[in-house]
Chain A
Amino acid sequence: MSNSSGPLARTRSSDPDNNTDNTGLPFDSVVESDELGYLSYRQLIWKRLRKNQMGITAAIILLISYMIALGANFFAPYHYNQIQMRYRHVPPQKFRFSLRHGLHVYGLKSVRTPETRELVFTPDEIKIFPVRFLYRDNQNGLHLLSSDGPMFLLGTDRMGRDLLSRIIYGARVSMTVGLAGVFISLIFGSILGTISGYFGGWTDTLIQRAIEILLAFPSIPLWMALGAALPAEWSSVAIYFGITVILALVSWGGLARQVRGKVMAYRELDFVKAAEAAGASHWHVITRHLMPGSYSHIIVIATLAIPGMILGETALSFLGLGIRPPMTSWGVLLEEAQRVTVLLHYPWLILPAIPVLVVVMSFNFLGDALRDATDPYAD
């Protein structure tokens, strides 16, 4: 959807100020009230998208989430690996407000339960720690909100690390895995899909058979097998890229099929035939005539493929086959909640599931809205 604007736009004037459309006739002689006639393809999509409130809300939520992930060290109250062994498994604390102290949190006092000899934390109402905006600590720089005392809004894990901070930092991995994975599978998918659809014949058969075999594997067991194959001595960054590639490897097939379908439909059209007759090279026809037409379609498929990848990473890390500590992701955080006994004692450990749901749902809504908006038969 970049510079050129698809076959649909070409039938209409691309310049709204120009008073003729490409029939060469003055506009008023064609259609009088057809306001859509003035709009380029991109403007049309934007106009339809704007009307879809769910889609726009989803887009805004995603934008905010990505901004928070990007500025994780500012938005998170602590560093994600700041271990405070004193505060293990602290339940979520609440913000308090009073006129005298402003926004504050209570300190924590711990009691050992007589039966299990386990430390249980309760708010200590005598100790009051004001919550400061733009808090500067000497190690990690500026934080949006933090406090001198313990401020664990979503509780802590078994090593006393702040869950909220870990969720915010985890977003970096979880939310980019989907994007990077889709990007790779887009490249694979559109190249192979275009080749398959454009050249046809035995190339097409070969690629289609390969995709069929790929799709014949159940995805999670296949991810598990590939995830287990990542060498143990790799650094967590290498693992991150490994996971991305694995997610992409398994999912490019479906995308390639869709692109192939589009390309096959377009290549029978007159403008492609005309280009071929005029002696255009395969490369020229593919890049100038076929790909621009599939852009909008590809973007929709890509958007709808992201949630699957995010869930894939979450599932893999959840099983201990994905992202490895010290790197953190939502799946890594949920791994701690895997055992029911843990979850029953420390129910807040399941909270990382919420951002997963919100982000996945937002992508689904956005993808759906984009699909509606790019549908040429919508109006």
Chain B
Amino acid sequence: MTTYIIHRILMAIPTLIAISIVSFIIIQLPKGDYLDRRIQELEEQYGDSSSMEMAAELRQRYGLDKSMPQRYLSWITGFVQGNFGDSFRYEVEVNQLIWDRIGFTLLISIGSLFFTYIIAVPVGIYSATHQYKFSDNLLTLLSFVGMSIPAFLLALTLMVFAFELFGLPLFGLFSSYYEGAPWTVGKLGDLIQHLWIPVIVLGLNGTAGLMRIMRGNLLDVLGQPFIQTARAKGLKEWVVVVKHAVRLAINPLVSILGMSLPTILSGAAIVSIVLGLPTVGPLLLRSLLDEDIYLAGTLIMLLSSLLVIGNLLSDIALAWVDPRIRYE
């Protein structure tokens, strides 16, 4: 098991390096940079000659006068040491801007992952054990609807409904009273009150898909001879289903855990923009529009790293539940 884990961690390193290169290239793609715009402003203010000097100074300060590979190298060495460079727009270190947001992103993502599995597994089991009954068909239809609704539309719709029906403003993660206040029990309660909407909105897509997979897996397993044997032994039906069938059918779901993370992180980005949540999404959009390259690059890199780590964890979890994998 230990060698397996070490092997997997070593495998993740080249992936991370490649991701960092791709992230860096993508954020450099737009023509010009943030400073071009700043320089234009300066030119209008001071006329030509002095603005050129200031521009050169700014370029030097942000390292924009160097060549791209050099910039990449200094960026990535800083990155590894936890120094992500400066944000042009906010004129502070990227470090100060992101950690709260990463925290809330993780909170919401993990929350909806839990929601997804807690709902999807039992419903999938129910659906499989009641195959082609009315309730199964209804659930199938619902899951198709659930899979088709993009999270941000659901968020918009829920927001309108919540406002019309209950007068609840669902914007943000905190009421205005607690915004920026230090952490207290009251603030935590307020957070939980606001948290359920994004968690459900984000979890719904995944829940619908996962339910279908659980249903399909379980149906496959239930058709196998050892299930017949278990029934022939006279075991109670629920023992057959829960102890024999589900135990086996749930394995693929563990590996899907790693795959559902990208969907949830993706969804979280756009849902947060709609719901005004203080996560990575809105900051990323802002930084992309401003061509605030170090900020945008850091965010993309961190989101992708989260995915790599998530995949790593789900691989390890899979090895833990399925001995065949760790002995390979």
Chain B, Cβ-Cβ closest to A210: B18
Contact, CB under 8 Å: B15 / A216 = yes
> Measured between alpha carbons, how far is A225 from B26 in the docked complex, in Å?
7
Chain A, Cβ-Cβ closest to B147: A364
Which residue of the partner chain, among A231, A318, A338, A340, contacts B163 with CB atoms under 8 Å?
A: A340
Chain B, Cβ-Cβ closest to A360: B148
Which residues of the other chain, A, contact B265 by a CB distance below 8 angstroms? Answer: 218, 221
Contact, CB under 8 Å: A221 / B152 = no
> Measured between alpha carbons, how far is A308 from B285 in the docked complex, in Å?
20
Q: Write the B256-278 contact mask toward A (1 if CB under 8 angstroms, else 0).
A: 00000010011101100110000
Contact, CB under 8 Å: A221 / B156 = no
Which residue of the partner chain, among A213, A315, A320, contacts B22 with CB atoms under 8 Å?
A: A213
Residues of A within 8 Å of B, CB-based: how many? Answer: 41
Q: What is the CB-to-nearest-CB distance from A349 to chain B, in angstroms, rounded to a whole number?
A: 10
Chain B, Cβ-Cβ closest to A227: B288
Sample 16 A-B pairs with CB under 8 A, ordered by A number. A217-B19, A217-B303, A218-B266, A218-B304, A220-B267, A221-B265, A222-B300, A225-B27, A321-B285, A321-B288, A334-B156, A343-B156, A350-B156, A353-B157, A357-B148, A368-B144
> Measured between alpha carbons, how far is A360 from B18 in the docked complex, in Å?
33
Q: Is A219 an interface residue (CB 8 A)?
A: yes
Q: Would you list which residues of chain A between 259 and 291 have a CB under 8 Å from chain B?
A: none
Chain B, Cβ-Cβ closest to A347: B160
Q: Is B242 an interface residue (CB 8 A)?
A: no
**Chain B residues close to A by CB (< 8 Å):** 14-15, 18-19, 22, 26-27, 29-31, 144-145, 147-150, 152-153, 156-157, 159-160, 163-164, 171, 262, 265-267, 269-270, 273-274, 281, 284-285, 288-289, 291, 296, 299-300, 303-304, 307-308, 311
Which residues of the other chain, B, contact A357 by a CB distance below 8 angstroms? Answer: 145, 148-149, 153
User: Looking at chain A's contact residues, is the secondary structure mostly helix, strand, loop, or mixed?
Assistant: helix
Contact, CB under 8 Å: B149 / A338 = no
> Measured between alpha carbons, how far is A231 from B291 in the docked complex, in Å?
12
> Measured between alpha carbons, how far is A158 from B296 in the docked complex, in Å?
33
Q: What is the CB-to-nearest-CB distance from B34 to chain A, in angstroms, rounded to a whole number?
A: 12
Given contacts A218-B262, A364-B147, A365-B144, contact A229 B26 (CB under 8 A): yes
Q: Is A155 an interface residue (CB 8 A)?
A: no
> Measured between alpha carbons, how far is A284 from B31 in the docked complex, in Å?
44
Given contacts A314-B150, A353-B157, contact A229 B30 (CB under 8 A): yes
Which residues of the other chain, B, contact A217 by a CB distance below 8 angstroms? Answer: 19, 22, 262, 300, 303-304, 307
> Nearest 3 A-B pairs (CB), nearest first?
A229-B29, A220-B266, A228-B288
> Measured between alpha carbons, how far is A216 from B306 in the docked complex, in Å?
9
Which residues of the other chain, B, contact A319 by a CB distance below 8 angstroms? Answer: 270, 273, 285
